[in-house]
Structure 1
Amino acid sequence: MHLTLAAAAHRLAAASEPQGGIAGWAAGLVETFGGPGAGAAIALENVFPPLPSEVILPLTGFAASQGVLSIASALFWTTLGSVVGAGALYAVGAVFGRERMHVWWAKLPLVKASDLVRTEAWFARHGTKAVLLGRMVPVFRSLISVPAGVERMPFPVFVGLTTAGSLVWNTVLVMAGYGLGDRWDVVGSYVGVASKVVLGLALVALAAYVTLRVRGRGRGKP
């Protein structure tokens, strides 16, 4: 049972050293601590986005298919880990605060104070949807917790939205790993493609914003 899980992580290591190392690390946590180990891995993934949930969650599902832990335990602990990690980033935003954010923002090139004010107004209108749906977007699922803290979204609301969104995301990836068995690692390939698409769109939007801002400055616009 344990050897099968370790062998699966080793196979990924042979194909991709960075993700294979993470898989081996996550496999060790799950083998040693069961559900709490999976929860700890996901909590760290939330705080440190380069740790990929698309590797950790399917591996946890595979571990459940091998009897290392139950599906209920896998979903409970990974969702709890998501909430704990997101709560830590919420705290960072809350401690940093709006005033410090405005001071930092004023030092950036190509932006205006009014841009941040509009962003705050947008989050005030759409923050609940952003937190809920953002939990299902790689990388963004971690970052969205910071503005939620800055804007002091009511913490019970934040926890509820984070729990709901995380449960959906975790369930999809854990069950995919459970169903695919020793082919659990193919999940990461599909999620990785989706992540690159989202990142590409974000970079295009950023490039368009900077271009428009530079042109505006060149025309003497405030």
Structure 2
Amino acid sequence: MNLTATALAQQPADGVAGWAADLVDTLGGPGAGLAIALENLFPPLPSEVILPLTGFAAGQGVLSLASALFWTTLGSVVGAVALYWIGVLFGRERMHALWGRLPLVKASDLVRTEEWFAKHGPKAVFLGRMVPIFRSLVSVPAGVERMPMPLFVMLTTLGSLIWNGVLVMAGYWLGDRWDVVETYVGLLSKIVLALVVVAVAAYVAVRVRGRGRTGGGRTGRRRAS
């Protein structure tokens, strides 16, 4: 059975879905795992397309459901560990050096962020695997903060298994309507991105206002003297 021809009859053959379908057709479970590993490294690749498609492939007998879940979760862990090591190699000192060059931020802001991650890191890594966009990015601070690798792998595996399992099973149950999943998860991704943009904009506005007040206070003190 040619999954690309069957599952993607109404989709462009050269799109992400076509590329993922070709990988699954050619390599089976390892192909799905490779696609998800690359999705972790390059977040623009949508897991909401790759995972339901893999579930549909399992429903069509291209691979077993157990193989789909195993390989996609392994791919998630491999991609996350690669990003973790990027954080380790980048290191705390380089992070502080880069932070110091950024406008509107202070060294104390990064210190507070590190303290927050030290306190909530396990929760952030586990839940972050089920949040579009952040499921990739959360691995970097985990590496910078040197979260113990066994704990990182365990939390990543559990969180990824839940996320992958939901989307793979959705594709498995929906059959040739697997692409419906992309619509709803894609909407969730846009909402998350919008919330992040609003949060960053609010943070920048507060920082600018705070600096303005500080500058005004200094000017007033100089005039008084």
TM bracket (short chain):
over 0.9
Task: Please point out which of 162, 185, 191 is paired with 1:197.
Answer: 191
Instruction: Give the alignment of 1:86-165 within 5 angstroms.
Output: 86-165=80-159
Report runs of 4+ in structure 1 exceeding 6 Å deviation: none
Aligned residue for 1:82? 76
Instruction: Give the distance between the partners of 1:148 and 1:117, measured in 2 at CA.
Output: 15
Contact 1:42/1:81 (<8 A) preserved = yes
Contact 2:125/2:156 (<8 A) preserved = yes
What per-residue deviation string (whole Å, max 9, x for no partner) do you get for residues 145-177 of structure 1?
Answer: 000000000000000000000000000000000
Instruction: Give the distance between the partners of 1:22 and 1:150, measured in 2 at CA.
Output: 31
What per-residue deviation string (whole Å, max 9, x for no partner) do you get for residues 41-88 of structure 1?
Answer: 000000000000000000000000000000000000000000000000
Aligned residue for 1:8? 7
Q: What amino acid sits opposite 1:29 in the alignment?
A: L
1:215 is aligned to 2:215: no
Contact 1:23/1:56 (<8 A) preserved = yes
Contact 1:5/1:63 (<8 A) preserved = no
1:182 is aligned to 2:181: no
Instruction: Give the distance between the partners of 2:153 and 2:181, measured in 1 at CA.
Output: 27
Instruction: Give the distance between the partners of 1:38 and 1:174, measured in 2 at CA.
Output: 11
Instruction: Give the alignment of 1:163-178 within 5 angstroms.
Output: 163-178=157-172
Instruction: Give the distance between the partners of 1:6 and 1:160, measured in 2 at CA.
Output: 37
1:41 is aligned to 2:40: no
Aligned residue for 1:17? none
**Shift of the alpha carbon at 1:135?**
0.2
What per-residue deviation string (whole Å, max 9, x for no partner) do you get for residues 78-123 of structure 1?
Answer: 0000000000000000000000000000000000000000000000
**Larger Cα Rg: Structure 1 or Structure 2?**
2
What per-residue deviation string (whole Å, max 9, x for no partner) do you get for residues 3-44 of structure 1?
Answer: x54332241228xxxxx6100000000000000000000000
Aligned residue for 2:223? none
Instruction: Give the distance between the partners of 2:102 and 2:157, measured in 1 at CA.
Output: 34
Runs of 5+ in structure 1 lacking a partner? 15-19
**How many residues are paired up?**
216
TM-score, structure 2 length as denominator?
A: 0.93
**Shift of the alpha carbon at 1:220?**
1.1
Q: What amino acid sits opposite 1:190 in the alignment?
A: Y
Amino-acid identity (%):
75
TM-score, structure 1 length as denominator?
A: 0.95
Contact 2:4/2:18 (<8 A) preserved = no
Instruction: Give the distance between the partners of 2:8 and 2:106, measured in 1 at CA.
Output: 48
Instruction: Give the distance between the partners of 2:5 and 2:163, measured in 1 at CA.
Output: 24
Instruction: Give the distance between the partners of 1:43 and 1:61, measured in 2 at CA.
Output: 17
